[in-house]
């Protein structure tokens, strides 16, 4: 049998474009209580991606036909600001923002307990003032802190990160340069979201190709990254409480 040449098995992606280690997160900043009018709010910055979240409620759900007499609901509105990307984004909702809103809603539903608030809604507004990939996961991290500050009953916290595969290399916290990588097998983008106590996956999306073994490794790296992010979220919440 012909021996497999070395280059066949080796990844072409040997160094990250910004010099980070493969499991290294971008520089993170997190702040709770940034919007006085909201019941809860937070900012989460990862490198050049910035997300802000504002939470209102629980309050009576309108329209009435959307009410659930068994429990309160969570409603997410995600959008990127026009100036968030290099080429101006057309203002307002589009298919992408609607899909991301829904996906974030599903992730956050796992951590809140609104059984004591029938017929109500908790509105979560997520805005992206600056985007350099990973906006949905930054939005989830900001929203989780904002929900906690608002005092919405939570079973556990939730933390999110985009892992990825550049050619054959698994990396954590994909930025826009990496997302656009085209050499070899190209880029695979995998936003994941882990619950803090049960360690369960609350979100898994996959855009690209990956083998089961590579996915296993990517999820493990994502879980470790989410543990680091959880500590940062807790610290930001504590700093807010201490400043009150």
Interface characters, 15-34, with ligand ADP (x: CB under 6 A): --------------------
Quick one: which segment of 8-16, 104-112, 125-133, 216-224 binds ligand ADP (CB under 6 A)? 125-133
Q: Which is nearer to ligand ADP, 133 or 146 (CB)?
A: 133
Check binding of 228 to ligand ADP (CB under 6 A).
no
Nearest CA to 78 out of 99, 44, 101, 57 is that of: 101
Q: Which of 16, 26, 136, 165 binds ligand ADP (CB under 6 A)?
A: 136
In sequence order, the 6+-apart residues with CB closer than 8 A to the CB of 122 are 55, 56, 57, 58, 59, 72, 73, 74, 75, 112, 114, 147, 150, 152
- Compute the radius of gyration of the chain from its Cα atoms: 19
Q: Which is nearer to ligand ADP, 42 or 126 (CB)?
A: 126
Q: Which of 16, 20, 45, 89 binds ligand ADP (CB under 6 A)?
A: 89
d(CA 50, CA 216): 28
In sequence order, the 6+-apart residues with CB closer than 8 A to the CB of 29 are 43, 44, 45
Quick one: which segment of 111-119, 132-140, 165-173, 223-231 binds ligand ADP (CB under 6 A)? 132-140
Check binding of 133 to ligand ADP (CB under 6 A).
yes
Which residue's entry shows tokens 């539903």? Answer: 109
Closest contact distance (angstroms) between CB of 148 and ligand ADP is 22
Quick one: which segment of 39-47, 84-92, 211-219, 232-240 binds ligand ADP (CB under 6 A)? 84-92
Phi-psi map region of 78: left, alpha, beta (phi>0 left; psi -120 to 50 alpha): beta
């Amino acid at each position: 049998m012909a021996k497999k040449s070395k280059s066949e098995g080796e990844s072409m992606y040997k160094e990250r474009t910004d010099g980070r280690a493969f499991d290294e997160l971008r520089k993170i900043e997190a702040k709770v209580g940034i919007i006085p009018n909201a019941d809860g709010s937070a900012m989460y910055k990862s490198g050049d991606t910035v997300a802000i979240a504002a939470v209102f409620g629980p309050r009576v759900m309108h329209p009435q036909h959307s009410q659930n007499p068994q429990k309160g609901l969570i409603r997410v509105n995600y959008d990127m600001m026009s100036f968030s990307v290099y080429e101006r984004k057309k203002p307002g909702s589009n298919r992408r923002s609607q899909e991301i809103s829904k996906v974030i809603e599903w992730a956050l539903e796992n951590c809140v307990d609104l059984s004591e608030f029938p017929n109500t809604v908790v509105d979560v507004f997520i805005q992206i003032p600056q985007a350099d990939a990973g906006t949905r996961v930054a939005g989830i991290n900001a929203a989780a802190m904002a929900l906690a500050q608002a005092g919405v009953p939570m079973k556990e916290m939730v933390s999110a990160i985009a892992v990825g595969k550049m050619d054959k290399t698994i990396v954590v916290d994909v930025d826009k340069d990496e997302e656009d990588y085209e050499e070899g097998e190209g880029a695979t983008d995998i936003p994941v979201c882990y619950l803090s106590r049960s360690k369960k996956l609350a979100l898994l999306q996959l855009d690209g190709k990956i083998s089961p073994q590579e996915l296993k490794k990517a999820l493990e790296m994502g879980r470790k990254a989410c543990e680091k992010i959880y500590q940062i979220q807790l610290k930001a919440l504590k700093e807010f409480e201490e400043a009150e």
